[in-house]
Chains A and B, each alone.
Chain A
Amino acid sequence: MNPEILQDLESFVPEIVLTVALLLVVLADISLPKLRTRVTFLVTAVGLLAALCFTVPLFGAGEKALFYNMVALDRMAVFFKGFLILASFLVLLAAPGSKELSSTHLGEFYALLLGVTLGMLLLASSVDMLMLYLSLEMVSLTSYIMVGYLRHDRQSNEASLKYILFGAVSTGSMLYGITLLFGLTGSTKMPAIREALASGGASGGNGMALLVATALILAGFGFKTAAVPFHFWCPDVYTGAPTPVTAFLSVAPKAAGFATLIRFFFSGMSDTTTSASQWSAFSAMNWTSLLILISIITMTLGNIAALRQDNLKRLLAYSSIAHAGYMMMGAAVLSYEGVQAVLIYLITYLFMNLGAFLVVIEIFNQTNSFNVNDYRGLYRRSPFLAISMTIFLLSLMGIPPFAGFFGKLFVFAAAVNHNLAWFAVIGALNSVVAVYYYARVIKAMIIEGGDEGAGFKLAGTSRALVWIMLLPTVGMVLFWDRIQALTGRSWKFFIG
């Protein structure tokens, strides 16, 4: 065995832990008939926590590429690994408590969760197009299965069918684009692609080919981050999937998609020689304008479509499309400040979005409904849930002092600092529009009266989980400089 491979394995411990946990879960599921629910849950939980513990020390390592330049180990990759494992862990805690999943055996669910986490870790650190495609498909396939987990439920099945058909076409088109890029540059590795494009690989008649290739590759990224015009699957899939899966999809694969989008465009298609902190797109392919356009259309369409939704899951689906638009603002400015803004936005988004979905799960557990009309008078039946949901929604709106405000602040500031103030203004206007549909839910819960029902009895674990989401959402303002410092150090990634 090559000594380099053995050395790289030392930096690969989180992924190995996840794989071992996956294998143990599969074994436990087939061999322990009575204890398997508890054992599989425990193995998954321990596996994710162990992976998280092994991820933290990697933060100090320098930037390098592992396994013959397939994946990179740099601070941004480590940040995303920690983020994604944490997101999976929180969803793991939420899954058994949901009524939708209580009727099914969850052994395979935990295996799939470990599999999708492994795929996301690889996706966020890929620097080779083959590795990117393989890990993207790994995340996507496991997501399709998780969405269709309630295999006797018509909506869950329909959601997974739409998801897989749309997803397969998007990733297939992305693959075709990757092959065109391969033909233009002669390599599948991002550093080599960048060098080939820099030295005139895209001049003259090749500009058209590069444009077509980039547009097709964007189909795949757009699909993963649910950006317009590749967002069509999102509302139906979010509505039909079991809500814990929806919560997971809205945060984790989206974050991984952003990580790889940033990596591909910044290290594969930008001119990094002009200055250390500000890069520029190659003149042959002005993809920054393309991303700005996509960002604007995405946030606008997401916000406008959410205005008419009564189903909370559908409303949150369009809301998450809009948030992807705001995050794309950070990616479109092509600088370290933009990357830092995206990272901050993701941290805030993780807690507020998962928190909102947690409350939706709990309310469904008690009322069997996702309709906003059944949220009326929630304040009387469960003040805890109503107040928590209000806080999450205010944070999603971007109201200070809640976490969401900081995400938006940084993203808009990044735009302003790059002479794109008009872009930030459009973002701000969109946030104002969004206030309406979030406020509608708050109004229903607190101000309007509903049918008087019994008070909710929340399980201790559910209450604890909501607190786990609430504390960062409310308290982030206190730890503000720590977060800024952490993300400020995390934007550095492997250029090669």
Chain B
Amino acid sequence: MDPTTVAQVIFYFFAVLTVASAAIVVFSSSLIYSAFALLFTFFGVAALYVFLGADFLAATQLVIYVGGILILLLFGVMLTHKLYDLDLKTETFQFFPGFLVMAAVLLTLTGVISKTQWVSRGERPLNPTTIAIGLLFMREYILPFEVASVFLLVALIGAAMIVRRRRS
């Protein structure tokens, strides 16, 4: 088989996986199904990053999103229900107006995307990115890099403080 066709098939597989899982996250009536579908969404996005030549970013996505945020969300799901609540059903409100809004947003965005001529400075070749990203963090992006560390410290303190138990 011709390699570009194989690439296309794999791309479509991951694209459909991502969007379909996202749909399950949003439409499923079981909270656990939503959480696990979100796992597949994150995986699909990481695969898309690989397709786009963002190797460092794909690894970061897996480690932080799947390994961190998703675990956190699962803890959130588990810790906010009583032990005997086996079927974690979720309700929805105003489904139909929400659906209309979603359709409107989707139509607007697809229309905009198909009609727009994005900036074209050429394509970036698919080189490994890790070294380049590391250097950029220490040069052009040093200020956001340092600010992000203070930001994480403050978020950490704040989150820990909110969840702390009452002092006995």
* CB <8 Å contact, B162 and A67: no
* CB <8 Å contact, B147 and A122: yes
* CB <8 Å contact, A206 and B150: no
**CB 8 Å contact bits of B109-143 with A (1 = contact, 0 = none):** 10111011111010000000000000000011111
Given contacts A115-B150, A145-B158, A152-B166, contact A70 B116 (CB under 8 A): no
How many inter-chain contacts with C-beta < 8 Å in the A-B complex?
99
| The stretch of A179-187, A222-230, A358-366 that contacts the partner chain | A179-187
Given contacts A108-B161, A131-B143, A151-B162, contact A208 B154 (CB under 8 A): no
The chain B residue with its CB closest to the CB of A23 is: B153
Given contacts A138-B151, A201-B119, A205-B115, contact A212 B109 (CB under 8 A): yes
Q: Of residues B117, B161, B166, which shows the largest number of chain A Cβ atoms within 10 Å of its Cβ?
A: B161
**CB 8 Å contact bits of B82-126 with A (1 = contact, 0 = none):** 000000000000000000000000001101110111110100000
* CB <8 Å contact, B166 and A145: no
Given contacts A111-B154, A138-B154, contact A208 B143 (CB under 8 A): no
Interface status of A243 (Cβ within 8 A of chain B): no
Given contacts A145-B158, A209-B112, contact A196 B119 (CB under 8 A): yes
Determine the main DSSP class of B at the interface with A: helix
Distance (whole angstroms) from the CB of A68 to the closest CB of chain B: 5
Question: Given A67, A108, A151, which contacts B143 in the complex, CB threshold below 8 Å?
Answer: A67
* CB <8 Å contact, B161 and A70: no
Interface status of B16 (Cβ within 8 A of chain A): no
In the bound complex, how far is the Cα of B112 from the Cα of A67, in angstroms?
35
How many chain A residues touch B (Cβ–Cβ < 8 Å)? 44
In the bound complex, how far is the Cα of B164 from the Cα of A196, in angstroms?
49
In the bound complex, how far is the Cα of B143 from the Cα of A144, in angstroms?
24
Interface status of B6 (Cβ within 8 A of chain A): no
* CB <8 Å contact, B119 and A138: no
Residues of A contacting B162 with CB < 8 Å?
145, 148, 151, 160
In the bound complex, how far is the Cα of B112 from the Cα of A135, in angstroms?
29
Given contacts A145-B162, A185-B119, A206-B117, contact A111 B157 (CB under 8 A): yes
Interface status of B79 (Cβ within 8 A of chain A): no
Interface status of A32 (Cβ within 8 A of chain B): no
The chain B residue with its CB closest to the CB of A25 is: B157
The chain B residue with its CB closest to the CB of A211 is: B112
Given contacts A134-B144, A183-B118, contact A212 B157 (CB under 8 A): no
Residues of A contacting B144 with CB < 8 Å?
70, 130-131, 134
Determine the main DSSP class of A at the interface with B: helix
In the bound complex, how far is the Cα of B132 from the Cα of A338, in angstroms?
43
* CB <8 Å contact, A112 and B158: yes
Residues of B contacting A135 with CB < 8 Å?
147
* CB <8 Å contact, A5 and B142: yes
Interface residues of A in 144-175 (CB under 8 A from B): 144-145, 148, 151-152, 160
In the bound complex, how far is the Cα of B121 from the Cα of A400, in angstroms?
57
The chain B residue with its CB closest to the CB of A115 is: B154
Residues of B contacting A148 with CB < 8 Å?
162
In the bound complex, how far is the Cα of B148 from the Cα of A232, in angstroms?
29
Interface status of A275 (Cβ within 8 A of chain B): no
Interface residues of B in 1-44 (CB under 8 A from A): none
Given contacts A26-B153, A208-B112, contact A141 B148 (CB under 8 A): no
Residues of A contacting B157 with CB < 8 Å?
26, 108, 111-112
In the bound complex, how far is the Cα of B144 from the Cα of A183, in angstroms?
21
Given contact pairs A138-B150, A145-B161, enumerate 12 new A-B contacts (beta carbons under 8 Å). A26-B153, A68-B140, A130-B141, A151-B163, A152-B166, A183-B116, A184-B118, A185-B119, A196-B119, A201-B119, A209-B113, A212-B109
Which 4 A-B residue pairings sit nearest by Cβ, starting from the closest? A145-B158, A115-B154, A186-B119, A67-B143
